[in-house]
A and B are shown apart, each in its own frame.
Chain A
Amino acid sequence: MKPWSQVALLAKREFSERVRNKTFIITMSLLVVAILAIGPAVNFFSGGEDEATMIGLAGEELPGIEQELHTQAALFDLEIEVARFPSRDEVETALTEGDVAVVLVEGTQIVFHENVSSRLTALVHSAIDTTVKTGALTGLGLSEGEIASVVEPIPIEVTTLEEQNIQDDAKRGAAFVGAIFLYISIIMFGQFVAMGTVEEKQNRVVEVILSRVRPWQVLVGKVAGIGLLGLLQLAIFAGAAYISAQLADLPDIDVAAIGLPIITSLLFWFILGYTFYAFLYAAVGSTVSRQEDLQGALMIPIALILPGYLLAIMAAEDPDALLPTVASWLPPWAPFVMPVRIAAGSAQSWEIAVAIVGTVLGAIALVWIGARVYSGALLRTGGKVKLREAWKAAAE
């Protein structure tokens, strides 16, 4: 029996016992459904955009106003339909119920329901203006061509100084959402590791296990089995988010080009970040004997993870700021901050290399430290074992 086959058996138990857990399956299914629903929900709530805007006419009409409204709407890049209302009452009903966006009454009054849209005001006003002027000019005996040369709008170009890059914003946003997922996943599966460790101590099953395998095998098997479950869950969530984004109608955003690299990077940094923290979680978990005592011990990993989350928020806002930049190189925070900086395009390749190598080295150190504390503390039941005692006990 090779030591690594035993590790594989231990990992398999951790994975299969948890993946069959009803609470886990239900929670995960609900979350997947929720994520999948976000895309269509966005479409539903911003749904009006594609439909024609209804403009109402009431009372005495300016001759040719309907034609002019359509002409103006084309200039405003807006699709409209025109409806007519014989009475003031009907106008009010239609506005209140949202059947029309705006109504032109008696050719002089522009009525909205609650909020004035300056865009529609400009459109209707422009139509009135042109219609009235055309009428006046016709009365003066000008030809159609002459009239047109007066009332035809002058083409005006509208630009911004800085190009608004929707792709970059979407990328950074997606990376930030990814960082939140990463943060939640590392805490969640790290706690699984700690709780599983305490459970085995509390149930005393640990002695039955340790009569067959070494502590490091239990540790590595547990971390690997739970980690695979975490990776699976994260991949399912990311897949659901990807499908959800495809379902959402985002014509200006290339979901595949943005989503796939971010998902790959997310899974990669989860493996690094989880490995780093899981051994820490296992070490602190092994120092307590009862679940009730675990919360206090968990403050140690949380105290390291929480700043990582806050730094990721800072990086999403300004990826080149000094604090997130430095943090993105250092093992405890790189897994949270670096993916955001990479997505924002602000991380140099050497920085990424430093972050990866640093985190891997940090994880190796924690495997070693964690394994030693773990083996020193595992058979000590009763109270809480101090980290230093566990460290020394491992040498006994």
Chain B
Amino acid sequence: MYGLEALSMLELVDLSKRFGDVVALDGAGFTVESGRILGFLGPNGAGKTTAMRVVFGLIRPDAGTVRWNGEPVGPAERLRFGYMPEERGLYPKMKVHDQLVHFSRLSGLSKAEANDAVDHWLGVLGLADRGDGKLDDLSHGNQQRVQLAAALAHNPDLLILDEPFAGLDPIGVESLAETLRELASGGVTIVFSSHQLDLVEDVCQDVAIIAEGRVVLSGRLDDIKNRSTKRRLTIDIDGQPWIPDVPGVEIVDGPGPSHCIVDDDAPIADLLAAANAAGTVNRFVFEPPRLTDLFREAVKS
């Protein structure tokens, strides 16, 4: 665990933050290794945005630290980070190219570097001919792309995106997912929050699930799935919903074929016998749990 990889990673350690009577973070923490994509999940108000803001020093935590490569994060480290806040916002009346150069230079790029980087990213994001226009004149989707460009035009080592997929059409979702995968394969560490769990399952290698200010589950998605004592069972009996009367079985959705979550030590023989007794079994499939199942389980507890 503390090999070479441990030298290049983001650690959130025991973060706590109260706003008056509201507990936003209650000892939350997780770790992302370099070049990996972590999906940061949690119900609304669980503390995702607060945790992200803490990383950028926008909120001072009551307790806990954020480390990058083992060192506490300060203003110098943050210049190597890129952030796309949940509340999107740039200068509406400023030329797209000008403001991206401005933000990149604030992050420490020279004028020439900033110009090159902005040209590069506008090209990659399909906005090469929009640089001289005002942000206001762009479509909603293109404004989203400019917002992403503002987060990554200074070539950060760590990218933190708050709900980056919100409001994108399916093509936009796919192209953003592709961009994130390419960045990660280039060594950029990425953390993003999302409510679209299928998407997270598709894009992320790691997850951290936060509920009521605490991280209730975190780690590599594969490990978590393997470690889970739950299995997803799909049973199709004549296309009818069927509820097995066996302990430790929980129906997760229906109607149609029944999807159940079962413990991995559930009596499979008993289940199958009960199913056979109920009708013709077309399908009886065990799978690792899906992220949705893990999320529901984690948040419930």
On A, residues with C-beta under 8 Å from B are 1, 3, 6, 9-10, 13, 17, 203-214, 379, 381, 396
B21 at the interface (CB under 8 A from A): no
Q: A204-B87, A381-B87 are in contact. Are A212 and B103 (CB under 8 A)?
A: yes
Q: A6-B106, A212-B106 are in contact. Are A204 and B85 (CB under 8 A)?
A: yes
Give the shortest distance, in Å, between A391 (CB) and chain B (any CB). 15
- A contacts with B: majority SS: helix
Note all chain A residues with C-beta closer than 8 A to B88: 204
Q: A9-B106, A207-B89 are in contact. Are A214 and B56 (CB under 8 A)?
A: no
**Partner among B60, B78, B105 whose Cβ is within 8 Å of the Cβ of A211:** B78
9 contacts between A and B (CB under 8 A): A9-B102, A9-B105, A9-B106, A203-B89, A203-B90, A205-B89, A211-B81, A213-B75, A214-B57
Q: A13-B102, A211-B78 are in contact. Are A203 and B91 (CB under 8 A)?
A: yes
Give the shortest distance, in Å, between A294 (CB) and chain B (any CB). 17
Of listed B75, B90, B103, B106, residue having the most chain A CB within 10 A: B106
Note all chain B residues with C-beta closer than 8 A to A212: 78-79, 103, 106-107
Note all chain A residues with C-beta closer than 8 A to B93: 17
Flag B105-131 by CB within 8 Å of A: 1 or 0 each: 111100000000000000000000000
Q: Are A214 and B75 in contact (CB under 8 A)?
A: yes
Note all chain A residues with C-beta closer than 8 A to B75: 3, 213-214
Nearest chain-B residue to A395 (Cβ)? B60
Cα A207 to Cα B56 with chains together (Å): 10
Flag B128-167 by CB within 8 Å of A: 1 or 0 each: 0000000000000000000000100000000000000000
**Partner among B57, B81, B90 whose Cβ is within 8 Å of the Cβ of A208:** B90
Note all chain B residues with C-beta closer than 8 A to A396: 59-60
Q: A1-B79, A204-B85 are in contact. Are A211 and B58 (CB under 8 A)?
A: yes
B94 at the interface (CB under 8 A from A): yes
B92 at the interface (CB under 8 A from A): yes
Note all chain B residues with C-beta closer than 8 A to A10: 106
B242 at the interface (CB under 8 A from A): no
B83 at the interface (CB under 8 A from A): yes
In the complex, the number of residue pairs spanning A and B with C-beta atoms less than 8 Å apart equals 65
Q: Are B58 and A208 in contact (CB under 8 A)?
A: no
**Partner among A13, A17, A211 whose Cβ is within 8 Å of the Cβ of B85:** A211
Cα A1 to Cα B78 with chains together (Å): 11
Note all chain A residues with C-beta closer than 8 A to B105: 9
Nearest chain-B residue to A213 (Cβ)? B106
Cα A13 to Cα B59 with chains together (Å): 26
Nearest chain-B residue to A212 (Cβ)? B106
Q: A10-B106, A213-B106 are in contact. Are A17 and B89 (CB under 8 A)?
A: no
Give the shortest distance, in Å, between B167 (CB) and chain A (any CB). 14
Q: A9-B106, A203-B90 are in contact. Are A208 and B79 (CB under 8 A)?
A: no
Note all chain A residues with C-beta closer than 8 A to B60: 396
Cα A205 to Cα B103 with chains together (Å): 11
- B contacts with A: majority SS: loop
Q: Report, nearest first, the 7 A-B pairs whose CB atoms are least far apart.
A: A204-B89, A1-B108, A211-B83, A204-B87, A207-B85, A211-B56, A205-B89
Cα A10 to Cα B90 with chains together (Å): 14
Number of chain B residues whose Cβ lies closer than 8 Å to a Cβ of chain A: 28
- B 59-110 contacts with A by CB, 8 A: 59-60, 75-76, 78-79, 81, 83, 85, 87-94, 102-103, 105-108
Q: Are B103 and A208 in contact (CB under 8 A)?
A: yes
Nearest chain-B residue to A204 (Cβ)? B89
Cα A211 to Cα B85 with chains together (Å): 9
Note all chain B residues with C-beta closer than 8 A to A205: 89-91
Note all chain A residues with C-beta closer than 8 A to B57: 210-211, 214
Give the shortest distance, in Å, between B115 (CB) and chain A (any CB). 14
Note all chain B residues with C-beta closer than 8 A to A3: 75
Nearest chain-A residue to B89 (Cβ)? A204
Cα A1 to Cα B53 with chains together (Å): 22
Cα A325 to Cα B57 with chains together (Å): 47
Note all chain A residues with C-beta closer than 8 A to B53: 207, 379
Of listed A13, A204, A212, A381, residue having the most chain B CB within 10 A: A212
Q: Are B106 and A203 in contact (CB under 8 A)?
A: no
Cα A213 to Cα B75 with chains together (Å): 7
Q: A9-B102, A10-B106, A213-B106 are in contact. Are A208 and B92 (CB under 8 A)?
A: no
Cα A238 to Cα B292 with chains together (Å): 69
Give the shortest distance, in Å, between A380 (CB) and chain B (any CB). 10
Note all chain A residues with C-beta closer than 8 A to B76: 1
Nearest chain-A residue to B19 (Cβ)? A396
Note all chain B residues with C-beta closer than 8 A to A13: 102
Cα A206 to Cα B58 with chains together (Å): 10
Note all chain B residues with C-beta closer than 8 A to A203: 89-92
Note all chain B residues with C-beta closer than 8 A to A206: 89
Note all chain A residues with C-beta closer than 8 A to B87: 204, 207, 381
Cα A46 to Cα B241 with chains together (Å): 102
Extra 13 A-B pairs, beta carbons < 8 Å, given A208-B150, A213-B75, A396-B59: A17-B91, A17-B93, A204-B89, A205-B89, A206-B89, A207-B89, A208-B85, A209-B103, A210-B57, A211-B57, A212-B79, A379-B59, A396-B60
Give the shortest distance, in Å, between A1 (CB) and chain B (any CB). 4
Cα A205 to Cα B108 with chains together (Å): 19
Cα A207 to Cα B87 with chains together (Å): 8
Nearest chain-B residue to A214 (Cβ)? B75
Note all chain A residues with C-beta closer than 8 A to B79: 1, 212
Nearest chain-A residue to B151 (Cβ)? A208
Cα A396 to Cα B102 with chains together (Å): 29
Cα A214 to Cα B87 with chains together (Å): 19
Note all chain A residues with C-beta closer than 8 A to B90: 203, 205, 208
Q: Are A210 and B89 in contact (CB under 8 A)?
A: no
Give the shortest distance, in Å, between A32 (CB) and chain B (any CB). 25
Give the shortest distance, in Å, between B189 (CB) and chain A (any CB). 16
Cα A13 to Cα B102 with chains together (Å): 8
Q: Are A210 and B58 in contact (CB under 8 A)?
A: yes
Note all chain A residues with C-beta closer than 8 A to B106: 6, 9-10, 209, 212-213
Note all chain B residues with C-beta closer than 8 A to A1: 76, 79, 107-108
Q: A17-B94, A203-B89, A396-B60 are in contact. Are A208 and B83 (CB under 8 A)?
A: yes
Give the shortest distance, in Å, between B55 (CB) and chain A (any CB). 9
